[in-house]
Every structure is written in C-alpha cells, then in structure tokens.
Amino acid sequence: MQNVKVGLIPAPELPTEVAEKLLNTLPEQFNKFIDSSVSFEVALNIDPMTGAAENVEEILYKASDLKERKGWDYAICLTDLPIFTEGYVVAADVSVKHGVGQISIPAFGSMPIKRRLKKAIVQLFGELYFQSSSSEESTSGMAQGAIRPNRNQTAFRLLKKQFPISPVRRIEDDGDSEIDIRFIVVPRINGRSRILIGMAHANRPWGIMPSFKKVIALAFATGAFGLIFPTLWQLSNLFTNLRLITLTVIAITGMVVWIVLAHNLWEKPAYRNKRKLRNLYNNATLITLIAAVMMYYVMLFALFFIAVVIFIPPAFFKEMAFLNEPAGVIDYLRLSWLSTSISTIAGAIGAGLENEELVRNITYGYRQKRRYQEVQQYD
C-alpha cells in the first residue's frame, strides 16, 4: 500500500493546540473522504516562522523547504496571520507547485474552531492531493463518497460550509504568483468582522483573568468595604436601570482604556508596520480586553451577589435602604450590580500596577507579541 506523508505546520499557541487535538484523527479522515487505497501518515512540526512572518509567500516558501527536508509529500500550515487580497479576507491558500496549503485561523472566527478546522484541513488537503500530478494514479482507489479531483469542487464544497453567514469564493491565479488557488470570504465587511473575532479568540481573553488574581482581590475588597456603609444600599434603590447601565459601561470602558494606556498595548505608527494591519491588531486588542473585562465583571458580580445575600438580612436591608417592603432578589441584584461597577473602577487602578510584561504576555497572542517586539526594535 502506498504511503503518503503529510506535514502539519502550526504556529505556536492556539494553532498548535488545535493541531495537537486533530493530529490523530486526520489519517482516518483522509482515508474516509479522500483516498482509501493509500496509507496516510500525518506529522506535526511546530514552527515559529508560521506565527511570525507577515508575508504569505514567505510562509509558503518556509513550509515548502521544511517539507523537502522532512521528506513529506504535502504540507499544510495553520497560521494566525490575517491574510487579505484586494480588500477581501483570505480563508485558505493552495500552492500546487509546492504541494503546500495554508489556512488562516482568524478567518474562521471563534467557536467551534476545532470541528471547523478539521473539515477545512481535509478539504484543503483534497485540493492538494488531486491537483498534483503525482496523485492522479491514486484516484481509482478513492473511498466511496470521496472528494472528486475537480478543480471547482475539491476544497470549495466543505470550506464553504464553514462560513454559513459569510460566503466563500474560490479564485485561481494563472499568473506568476506562488499561490495557485485562494478562498476568500465575501462580502468584505463580513470577512473583516469574522477576522477581528478570530484574532481576539487567538489572544485567548479567557486566560487573562487568572493572572489578575490580585486585581480581583483588590476590587472585591474595595466593594466589600463600601458595603459596610448604607450609602450603596440607598443608591442601589434610587438609581434607575439606565443609570446603572451607564455606570457599567463607564466602569468597563475605563478599565480597558487604563490597561491599554498603563501597559502600552496600543501599537503606534512605525515605518515597518502598515496602517491597515496596525489598526486591525489594535482593534483585536480592544476586543480581547473588552471580553476579558466583561468576564471579570461577571465574576465580581457573582461574588458580590453571594456576599450580600448571605450577610445582609432582608429586613435590615429594607430599613437602611428605605425600601417599602423587605428586600427581594431584585434589590440584592441591584446592590450587587452597583457594587461591581464601583469596584471595577478600583480594579482598573490595580490592573495598572501589574507588571507590564506580564500583562502583555497574557493579552497578546504569539503573533502580536512578535509584532510588538519588532515594532519596539525598529521604533
């Protein structure tokens, strides 16, 4: 039985995590959907180049060189590089002449990333496998229901299914480009929204809060101290919902802005960075921090709600807050809401005191950290 070796080359961090989860399932998927007459062997090679290069061709050349050195027949890169062509977001590239494919993970948005990427990898490999002249002899042994070697159907069919809201268009390059086939997301606005969400997902905002234990402790201590006095109780009864919502927005916005300014997370113009990419990374940073601070806010809210329910009797709450009847769940929720907003502002000050390198490491994904280092080097 013929043995076909496929190299999977992910960038560090999120792409690597996804690749490691998919590694053992891909040979079976290739046999099922592509060719049952051969034995597929999938190898993993984590390469920082895939997560550091800003140029698509540079990544493809690197992957092609690695493919030759490792003795693979094909290679597929998983990169966190946002790729554009003529204003459109690129989901995947295929270089038939090099036997290399590339998938841009940010183009897939957020969850469920593993399942969607698995299908995309299978389809992209099908494009490579059937477009290469060396595989034409193997098509007679294709599995039932396998992808047919049709230039218009191979990767396009299932890749399209991974973008139900944003249609995918398959384009071919007959010029001198190293890229033979591209899959772009249309319309442009859908692709940009999806890639921003994908970049923020690559930054893993859920991983920020565990590193902010001291900030959460400071914020909770501040709010708990404020709850000793009846002023907050009375204000929670007097404030309208609109005022509470406004205070929440101010608190979250203030904390995000303070973290960005205090830790120099806003990428400034430099001769090496392009304005379009710079704005994209800055917006991704904002989305990452907003998501993280909202998680932080919900966590604090839950802590305060538990605290006030346990320690403040309903009758005493009624007396001190001048309520018309004993405090109910809504009253406790409003008090927790107000306490959370006020303590979030205090938490912002605590976040500003955290180590700058620590904050940058937990806020940025691998690519943004490399990009920041390069900007600082040439600034």
- Indicate whether 207 and 246 sit together in one domain: yes
Do 208 and 187 sit in the same domain of this protein? Answer: no
Do residues 185 and 228 both lie within one domain? no
User: Per DSSP, what are the bridge partners of residue 101?
Assistant: 76, 94
Round to whole Å and give the CA distance between 281 and 270. 14
User: How far from 226 is each of 206, 244, 339, CA to CA, in Å?
Assistant: 28, 17, 8
* Shared domain check, 316 and 259: yes
Residues 25 and 84 in one domain: yes
| pLDDT at residue 353 tops 60 | no
In this structure, what token pair is assigned to residue 157? 């069919």
At residue 347, the pLDDT reads 76
**Model confidence pLDDT, tens digit, residues 185-210:** 877 777 778 888 888 887 778 777 66
Q: Are residues 70 and 46 located together in one domain of the fold?
A: yes
Task: Identify the pLDDT of residue 20.
Answer: 93
Contact 351, 258 (CB under 8 A): yes
* Domain final residue pick, 170, 194, 218: 194
The whole domain housing 66 covers 2-194
Mean pLDDT of 74-95: 87
pLDDT tens sequence across 102-123 = 998 888 877 667 888 888 898 8
Report the distance separating Cα 319 and Cα 19, nearest Å: 59
Q: Are residues 255 and 350 in the same domain?
A: yes
Number of domains composing the chain: 2
pLDDT for 133-190, tens place per residue? Answer: 444 444 444 444 444 444 334 444 555 555 555 577 788 876 667 788 888 887 777 7
Which residues in 151-190 are b (16+ Cβ under 10 Å) and which e? Answer: eeebbbbbbbebbeebebebeeeeeeeebbbbbbbeeeee
Q: Are residues 190 and 208 in the same domain?
A: no
**Pair 131, 220 in one domain:** no
Per-residue pLDDT of 262-299, as tens digits, reads: 778 887 776 555 777 788 888 988 998 899 889 989 99
> Residues 40, 189: one domain?
yes
Query: The domain that contains 15 carries what CATH number?
Result: 3.40.390
Residues 64 and 159 in one domain: yes
269 and 319 both lie in a single domain: yes
pLDDT of residue 198: 84
Q: Which of 125, 160, 194 is the last residue of a domain?
A: 194
pLDDT tens digits for range 333-351 = 999 999 999 998 877 776 6
Mean pLDDT over each residue of the chain, to the nearest integer? 80
1: three-class secondary structure by DSSP: coil
Query: Which of the listed residues 194, 211, 233 is the one where a domain comes to its end?
Result: 194
Beta strand 100-104 with 88-95 is antiparallel
